[in-house]
Structure 1
Amino acid sequence: MTSNTTSLSRAERLDRLPFTRRHLTLLGGSGIGWALDAMEIGLISFVIAQLSITWSADAAALSWVASAGFAGMAIGAALGGLLADRFGRRNVFAVTLLLYGVASGLSALAWSVAVLIVLRFVVGLGLGAELPVASTLVSEFAPKRIRGRVVVILEAFWAVGWIAAALLGYLVIPASADGWRWALLAGALPALWAVVIRWRMPESVRFLESKGRHAEAERIVRRFEESAGDTERANYSAVAPPAGPPPAQTRLGHLFAPTLRPRTVAIWVVWITVNFSYYGAFIWLPSLLVEAGYSLVRSFEYTLLITLAQLPGYAAAAYLVEKWGRRVTLAVFLLGSAVAAVFFGFGAVSGVEAQILAFGALMSFFNLGAWGALYAVTPELYPTPLRATGAGWAAGVGRLASIIAPLSVPPLVALGGPPVVFAVFSAVFLIAAAAAFALPELKGRPLD
């Protein structure tokens, strides 16, 4: 080992490591939480479809069930990012998992649409805060040469959770009038997982250094080095990192500093447009198929098959973010989403099952691949003191569109049915693709 090893910062030492068992543990722990989040959100689309029948609730009232959750997510994402930059990524991640896990379990006991709306708002608070914090934590540990790929793999756990939701929707919800209650009880699992998360996951080394907790940061880096079999390097100490930015650097206004303003505006536009199109389409997907004349069970079956296409979408994005880069991958997948959405909208009323499944699967493939690239690029845009805040506010602002999206579907259906609904989503995907091209390309660069 040459003497210049001692000149490496802790961040550089982490970037030089291979993907180790500790990286896998971190990714798996965060990913299981992520999958549970997706299962929770995905279940609502099936719950809405059943409640429209068992409670005879109208679409306008049920749309508020979904929108209330997204309103909570908007607030949770913004607050969660700020709290994670102040108190640490790991602690906020665990607390938010616990919050939404408990609220989800209580949702299963709701006796009216109004009560369900209130509880879904609380669920959203936890969900919204957890997602950007988890992606920030993973990105800060991943070696820079594969950082984008690792974050896309984390996002791929979303597909696992959404598939689990589709299975619960297909097998459990139609089984009885209270099937939706049993399905929502599964959302209480994160309350138990939060305990595991809190004690097994490391805190971000970059966060610890920004708070002057250098001894703790050094211990964590050495554990990762030892996990890589790099016992010699683990005997070296890193140079002291440069003095951190002043406390004012963590203010929200600094997201719009001259050097950061263009990327903040661009990433907010992408988050807003992707949230609108994705949640508008997928939250109402089972209900739209029922509206088109398919039975509840058949609509759930189609949704399950369409959801399976998420996994290869993530796999393709995980490869391409390190091959093409984040910006091009994100834009191309958004363009693919736009094309698939148009053809799916016409297929939903054509009665041709092959067209529904093919273009639904393509929409799922491209849309979820775009989500993977989006989560990969967002934390990279900001320095450590602003990273969770920047990611959290991008997600939070985007969630405002996810509040509007479910509410917009019933009037769009009344205007022209699924073709109009998905034509609107397609146009919004095109705006997202244009904004993606305005982002800087940060593939392979150090986070700071």
Structure 2
Amino acid sequence: MKTVSERRTARGELSATGKRHFLIRLAAVMVGGMFLDGYILGIIGPVAATMMGDLRLTSLEEGLVAAAALLGILVGSPIGGYAADKFGRKPLFMLDMGLFVIASALQFVVDSAEWLIVVRLMMGVAIGAEYSVGWPLMSEFAPARLRGRVLGLTLIAWYSGFMAAFALGYVLTEYTDLGWRTILGTSTVIAGVLFVSRLGLPESPRWLWNVGRRDEARLVARRYLESEADVADVEHEDVRPGTFGMLFSRKYWRSTLFVSMFWFCAVSPYFAIATFADSVLESYGLGGGLAGGVGLSAVALSGVVLTVFLIDKVGRRVLTVPPQWLATVILAVIGLWAGAPPFAVLVLFLVFSFFNAMYNTLTGVYPGEVFPTEIRGIGTGFAAAVSRVGAGIGTFLLPMSMKTLGTGGTMLIAAGVALLGAVLSQWLAPETKGKSLTETAAGYGH
């Protein structure tokens, strides 16, 4: 008689060890994309002064260089989401990284502000598409018992990428003769490795089933999914095309509202308070430099790590709702406490960063869970675009607010945004721990 392992091999199914290795590989290449997102944003800081002098950038051009990647994400995420739902996860997962490799390599030869802005915009488009395909693809392969933890790893990767890039850029700028083009172009190495690592990955069985390719879906599901229950759940998928309008349908408008505005409210105060905190750190001699760029991110990273550890044990809501209320209170205290000693403001900021990072981790989990397969890509992409609007507001309107309203008024506005997120999450944040994707994406009416 054939063993269970031999029977599985005969019908193309991997062993339990093989399935575990596949999941690790998929998680690694997806997490790598989020690492790159943090990396390209973090690497700019250490070379900004040299780059500005070499290219003779105006203040406007410097701002556009910094903003180009965010704008690219704003454009790339909904387009990538639409394409991922229409043409499949697999081709987009390769195409976005291929675009990133090309754009990143062009950084070695840029010779004008205009070209640098275009290149950084292309990189942002690729990262935006990565948001829209990476999370859906990972959620569609991950077992329910591990899905929150695996998706949450992306936020660890983002903070780690930012910290690694800032540290590397700082060291290369201070202690080597490498030019700023070479330092920016270091992202090409990571992107190239990720592109090669993605070759041969399978298409999502849920997407295959959704577009009517049922035999292929069954083969992929049986080969890669962890359990028979996961395989059976794939066959619960509807066979229907997704449309952008479905995001605002009676069944899914709450999902769209929650994911988009939760994400918006999570990132907007973070960018505002991070900018404000730099002036506080300067009073301690920590503003800028290696300590300022890496140390503060490390506090946020610890919040993400704790959340990833707990998410599949305690659930989503307890890590989403209470931290937002705490963040709201902290921002309000900073705004109302006129004349607070710098040490107190510093402590409050660090506590805010920790709790904000906790619920920010859920921005990488909920999008892949609450939308059905036919609009999982476009739903994630739309929410990512809305979040980048929040990031832009936090980054670019803050200086004006600081001048006209002062730090107190600015922090109260940030507290108001956090309050909106807390109220929305109290109302709409679902508990998806341990549920199949069919259950999590059933809509609020079911």
Specify the alignment match of 2:95 in structure 1: 95
Specify the alignment match of 1:441 in structure 2: 431
Specify the alignment match of 1:268 in structure 2: 260
CA contact (8 A) 1:64 1:407 kept: no
CA contact (8 A) 1:289 1:299 kept: no
Specify the alignment match of 1:381 in structure 2: 370
CA contact (8 A) 1:49 1:296 kept: no
Alignment of 1:225-240 (within 5 A): none
1:246 pairs, out of 216, 240, 243, with 240
Q: Which amino acid aligns with 1:241?
A: E
CA distance in structure 2 between the aligned counterparts of 1:316 and 1:338, rounded to whole angstroms: 20
1:209–1:356: structure 2 CA closer, same or farther, 3 Å change rule? same
Which range moved further: 73-82 or 313-322? Answer: 313-322
CA distance in structure 2 between the aligned counterparts of 1:291 and 1:318, rounded to whole angstroms: 28
CA distance in structure 2 between the aligned counterparts of 1:416 and 1:58, rounded to whole angstroms: 27
Matched, 1:395 2:384: yes
1:333 pairs, out of 323, 326, 336, with 323
CA contact (8 A) 1:271 1:398 kept: yes
1:297–1:312: structure 2 CA closer, same or farther, 3 Å change rule? closer
1:421–1:123: structure 2 CA closer, same or farther, 3 Å change rule? farther
1:207 Cα deviation after fit: 0.9
CA distance in structure 1 between the aligned counterparts of 2:52 and 2:271, rounded to whole angstroms: 19
Give the 3-state SS of the residue equivalent to 2:245 in structure 1: helix
2:293 pairs, out of 297, 303, 319, with 303
Using the size of structure 2 for normalisation, the TM-score is 0.81
2:360 pairs, out of 371, 382, 394, with 371
Give the 3-state SS of the residue equivalent to 1:83 in structure 2: helix
CA contact (8 A) 1:330 1:374 kept: no
Q: Which amino acid aligns with 2:100?
A: Y
1:323–1:195: structure 2 CA closer, same or farther, 3 Å change rule? closer
Q: Which amino acid aligns with 1:376?
A: V
1:239–1:96: structure 2 CA closer, same or farther, 3 Å change rule? closer
1:164–1:338: structure 2 CA closer, same or farther, 3 Å change rule? farther
CA contact (8 A) 1:34 1:155 kept: yes
CA contact (8 A) 2:286 2:292 kept: no
1:407–1:243: structure 2 CA closer, same or farther, 3 Å change rule? closer
CA distance in structure 2 between the aligned counterparts of 1:89 and 1:57, rounded to whole angstroms: 39
1:394–1:162: structure 2 CA closer, same or farther, 3 Å change rule? same
1:205 Cα deviation after fit: 1.4
1:439 Cα deviation after fit: 2.8
CA contact (8 A) 1:142 1:150 kept: yes
Which string of whole-angstrom CA distances, capped at 9 and with x for unpartnered residues, describes residues 279-321 of structure 1?
Answer: 4455x579x4499578798544222111112332112212443
CA contact (8 A) 1:98 1:190 kept: no
Unpaired runs of 5+ residues, structure 1, are: 1-12
1:298–1:372: structure 2 CA closer, same or farther, 3 Å change rule? closer
CA contact (8 A) 2:331 2:415 kept: yes
CA distance in structure 2 between the aligned counterparts of 1:289 and 1:304, rounded to whole angstroms: 16
Which range moved further: 40-49 or 27-36? Answer: 40-49
CA distance in structure 2 between the aligned counterparts of 1:358 and 1:123, rounded to whole angstroms: 35
Q: Kindly, what percent of the aligned residue pairs are identical?
A: 28
CA distance in structure 2 between the aligned counterparts of 1:156 and 1:291, rounded to whole angstroms: 24
1:167 Cα deviation after fit: 0.9
Using the size of structure 1 for normalisation, the TM-score is 0.81
CA contact (8 A) 2:167 2:294 kept: yes
CA distance in structure 2 between the aligned counterparts of 1:18 and 1:357, rounded to whole angstroms: 48
2:399 pairs, out of 372, 389, 410, with 410
Specify the alignment match of 1:214 in structure 2: 214
1:382–1:239: structure 2 CA closer, same or farther, 3 Å change rule? closer
CA contact (8 A) 1:325 1:441 kept: yes
Give the 3-state SS of the residue equivalent to 1:444 in structure 2: coil
1:268 Cα deviation after fit: 1.7
Q: Which amino acid aligns with 1:25?
A: R
1:101–1:336: structure 2 CA closer, same or farther, 3 Å change rule? farther
CA distance in structure 2 between the aligned counterparts of 1:119 and 1:290, rounded to whole angstroms: 34
Which string of whole-angstrom CA distances, capped at 9 and with x for unpartnered residues, describes residues 86-119 of structure 1?
Answer: 2221221221122123223323544444433222
Q: Which amino acid aligns with 2:302?
A: P
Which range moved further: 298-307 or 388-397? Answer: 298-307
Give the 3-state SS of the residue equivalent to 1:189 in structure 2: helix
Q: C-alpha root-mean-square deviation of aligned residues, in Å? A: 3.7
Matched, 1:255 2:244: no
CA distance in structure 1 between the aligned counterparts of 2:374 and 2:264, rounded to whole angstroms: 24
CA contact (8 A) 2:260 2:386 kept: yes
Q: Which amino acid aligns with 1:267?
A: V
